[in-house]
Structure 1
Amino acid sequence: MDIPQVTPNETAPTGDMGQDYLATGKQVAMRRWEASPCDWADMRTRKYETVGYVIQGRLEIDLDGETATLQGGDSWMVPEGAPHRYRILENLVAVEATSPPARMGNRDATES
């Protein structure tokens, strides 16, 4: 049996895109984002599936040519390999989970 992992907010490692890496298991990882309004990020694909939940703020997601606006209480899912990008419309706080885990330190192995 695995010992439960607890990641206190004050010790969560920060990734190079500003995300806080939270609890990470063998099959799933969680991260927290805080972001200010910005224009569209570059289109990209990932070698993992991502689900997210907006805690506060608003963002747009362009997922494989379809655009949606999300706000507090909304959630999204990006399939593995799907072209996507984000635009932050209002100060954002969101959490994402990835499967398999996208972990700090193996970004090159999981992103393209």
Structure 2
Amino acid sequence: MTDHSVKKIDSAAAPEGDLGQTYLVSGTSVAMRLWNESAGEAGEPHTRPYETVGYVVEGRVEVHVGDDVVTCGAGDSYLVPEGAVRHYKVLDDLVAVEATSPPARVDDRDDG
């Protein structure tokens, strides 16, 4: 039987991940999370077992995927394929929303 109920995550109670991300709502096929990062922060190259789509609400970020680099600002969106080597460099204080499929979850130790 399919569950057709709506699900809400209260932002005050949303769990945080090891890298500072806030986990928003998560379904069976997709999950959302919120990033608030300070300028100058840069992650190490890594891979993830999910596809990531992101939307920049405020600020600017460099998205590095393999040898490709794109700079995204407010209103821009990006796609990082599943399994791709990636890292991010925050150029200006950043607020971004990402969705991952399959879902990245707070109880996964594979944050980021």
2:50 to 48, 51, 56: 48
Q: Give the TM-score, by structure 2 length.
A: 0.92
1:107 to 93, 98, 109: 109
Paired residues for 1:1-112 under 5 Å = 1-2=2-3, 3-108=5-110
- Which runs of no fewer than 5 residues in structure 2 stay unpaired? none
Amino acid at match of 1:43: P
1:38 deviation in Å?
1.9
SS in 2 for 1:10: helix
Cα separation, partners in 2 of 1:86 and 1:53, compared to 1, 3 Å: same
Amino acid at match of 2:78: W
C-alpha RMSD of the superposition:
1.5
Aligned length: 110
Distance 1:14 1:44 in 2: 20
Q: Give the TM-score, by structure 1 length.
A: 0.92
- Which runs of no fewer than 5 residues in structure 1 stay unpaired? none
Distance 2:20 2:45 in 1: 18
